[in-house]
A = this chain, B = another copy of it.
Amino acid sequence: MKPIKAGLLGIGTVGAGTFQVLQRNQEEIRRRAGRGIEVTMVAARNLERARAVVGAGCEVVADPFAVVNHPEIDIVVELIGGYELARELVLQAIANGKHVVTANKALLALHGNEIFAAAHAKGVMVAFEAAVAGGVPIIKALREGLSANRIESVAGIINGTTNFILSEMRDKGLDFATVLKQAQELGYAEADPTFDIEGVDAAHKLTIMAAIAFGIPMQFGSAHIEGISQLQAIDIRYAEQLGYRIKLLGITRRTVVDGEEGIELRVHPTLIPSARLIANVEGAMNAVLVQADAVGTSMYYGKGAGAEPTASAVIADLIDVTRSATVDPYSRVPHLAFHPTELADVPVRPMEEISTSYYLRVTVQDQLGVMADLTRILADAGISIDAVLQKEPGEKARTDIVIITHQTREKFVDAAIGKIEQLPATEGKVVRIRLESLG
């Protein structure tokens, strides 16, 4: 069979990695795929640099639409990132009847519904394993490996930058700003790290996983997003003393509350029991924990970013698309795991309605009776206490009281916090971090 022809849009880190792995492993890949995969055309801003990467035998152009509109390209690999141009290019490729492979989570989280509808109408594939957790085949696991299951929840460490920062903060007892600066120097964080540290990147990936886990449309606009920039070293330390680690988790869960089905879709720092395997995922690694009714707990772990790990996922998609290209579209694995007519429009639940456990840190003037007041407020709100830690941070006559609650609704906790902050002994704001037992 003659090789399938792919065109790359963008030849930066991931593009160059894809090109190089395709070359290096061309024999392995051909032995598996049954036919070769050739990159015959690349669109790049810096033509000279692109030519240095791809060498002769591959056309380099400045205009990405020249790739998308080229009659001999079978698969377009979108690696330029961003929303608008990427959206136009992908939609144009689909309109031209080409299959698409993309690593662009932002694009899919925001415009996925439009893109998958267009691909479905045209009978082409849009593959996106590289959009979540780099080379870890989590899209394939959720969409195919666990297809027998009713998936209940997905919880993932899906941003390497923030996991690196949190690991360093814990390991070295440093504060956020110091570690961020180191991470930038080491290349683990970008010059503008906002999307990573504020949880936006994780929310993009979580949105995609929620869609394929539950058969719902992309609902990025409804995701609750909190990053780690406000996290203080002292809370990491207290959590440790209580047997927990703090991770930035993306959590999505299908729940029924008062008879109404809803989806939780939330990214925030989260305490996890230290004994859980996922609590021990350190540095820039990613891991996704899935709960499903038949298989129970399963976890998928690996590098979430980098040239070759991401290339691994891009090329796996290229091979899948190559195999499925000749297949009747109805028999292919559906883009969002469920057939398009079978998607369910389950709404995202507002955060005040979610149920979880909480870590609360209250700084008080060390005065008699304050613990009684605190516990009374929680008891009145129907919130039961799992553990308490009382610590003197050393300075002045202040005491930190740390409380771990049992599971309760967020609105009850927030109401109780309002009352705690009104107590005369309370200094400043109460620190509230969510806690998941992931049991």
Contacts and interface: CB of A to CB of B under 8 A. Distances in A.
A300 B303 contact: no
A295 B312 contact: yes
Interface string A328-359: 10111110011100100000000000000000
Contacts of A319: 144, 147-148
Contact of A309 (B137, B294, B306): B294
A141 B137 contact: yes
A229 B300 CA distance: 31
A183 interface: no
A326 to B, nearest CB: 6
A280 interface: yes
A300 B140 CA distance: 13
Q: A140, A281, A314, A331 — which one has the most chain B CB atoms within 10 A of its CB?
A: A331
A34 interface: yes
How many of these chains are in the complex?
2
Interface string A133-168: 011110011001111111000000000000000000
Interface string A1-35: 10000000000000001000110110011111110
Interface residues of A, number: 69
A342 B29 contact: no
A119 interface: no
Interface string A279-304: 01100000000001111111111110
Contacts of A374: none
A311 interface: yes
17 contacts: A25-B149, A28-B149, A29-B147, A32-B339, A129-B145, A134-B295, A136-B298, A144-B320, A146-B316, A148-B313, A277-B281, A280-B280, A294-B311, A296-B302, A297-B302, A300-B301, A326-B331
Interface of A: 1, 17, 21-22, 24-25, 28-34, 129, 134-137, 140-141, 144-150, 215, 277, 280-281, 292-303, 306, 308-309, 311-316, 318-320, 323-324, 326-328, 330-334, 337-339, 342
